[in-house]
Structure 1
Amino acid sequence: MVVRERILETALKMFRTYGVKGVTMFDIARDCGISKKTVYEHFADKQSLIDEGMQQLLNSHIAYFNECLQTTENAIEEQVRNMRYIVTLAKTLNPVMLFEIRKYHPDTWRSIENFKADSILYNIKENLKRGMTEGLYRQNLHIDIVARMRQLQLEAAFDPIQFPADQFEMPTVMDQVTAHFILGIATIKGHKLVNQYLQIKEEE
């Protein structure tokens, strides 16, 4: 791995663990086993590391969602796999990071907001359309409303104000709200699949 990639990987790991405010360029250099001067040779400042790190994280999300769409048998399997992905992500992501980016790095947060509108919301809508076409979701769903409702659920699960880390485990929160969401939009045919996938999940 080249030095620049190692710096970025280390920075992103530290941001996801500790948040962005308390992590310094010296901390990143020390964790990489290099000098702070070397870090600055590749990144002008901490802001550039935050921007590029977040973009890499968002790009990985897009790649996964696209792969999931192509390899799942139906819309419910796609939803469940996306849930598992988000739960896995939640286990390695301190929600403080998003809170601090929103508060202290408005330009970076704007790119995250654009990602929500351009990718997350689009992905949710496409899944709803797929499920309705497959007869797994109710035909009377108002896609724009239901998609935004789901997006708000996802945002709330990552909000430390709504679900403080000392009171709630994010994977549990995500598991609960997702199961509730899918069961709420599924047809009788869809419910059978939901139960099947959730039972498989519990046995793993």
Structure 2
Amino acid sequence: MSIRIDHAVVEGKFSLDGEVHEVENNLWVVGDAHQCLVIDAPHDVEAIRELVAGREVVAVLLTHAHDDHVRVAPDLADAVAAPVHLHPADRPVWELTHPARQPDARLVDRQTFHIGRLSVQVMHTPGHTPGSVCLYSPDLATVFTGDTLFAGGPGATGRSFSDRDAIIDSIRDRLLPLPPRTRVHPGHGPSTTIAEVVAQFDEWVAR
């Protein structure tokens, strides 16, 4: 059974520390013709359901708990009858958006999800938030990095719950060792490769 990545972009708001920004988020869905995993739940349940296209959603995997990544997570979970998974270190961030409802399950470092012959491994990469994770599929030669890593550099720090030293360590220790041809699909903006990240990393650290 062939496996694939489905992608779309949705618009909405990101709010934290009293600031509100208009943002565009990537939607990523990975799976085969029958089952899939949804990565993050930003802004628009129906746009996500269009990518799911009637397949069984095994899980909704959250890369972190900023509101632009989890805003419709409870509604999506109800709509597709799937559990929402979040790293427990991001529970305080989650509760800023959803104080009355908790995620359904924990994400654990090195935990693996399976869709047929497709495997997706959880990599805890703190820094952007304490519970940020990346989701690596060796079968697809792809890592979904949320807001930990973009084509232009590390994710933002300097806000509540963030730590620049931690995000640099996460990228250096967990992401740079991946095979150079690995595609990097972030939560916002264009994709890149690990090879391109390696070539720019020292410059990013020096900024």
Greater RCO, 1 or 2 (C-alpha within 8 Å, sep 6+): 1
- TM-score category (smaller protein): under 0.3
Of the two, which has the highest radius of gyration? 1
Question: Would you tell me which structure has more helix in proportion to its own residues?
Answer: 1
Q: TM-score, normalised by structure 2?
A: 0.26
Q: TM-score, normalised by structure 1?
A: 0.26
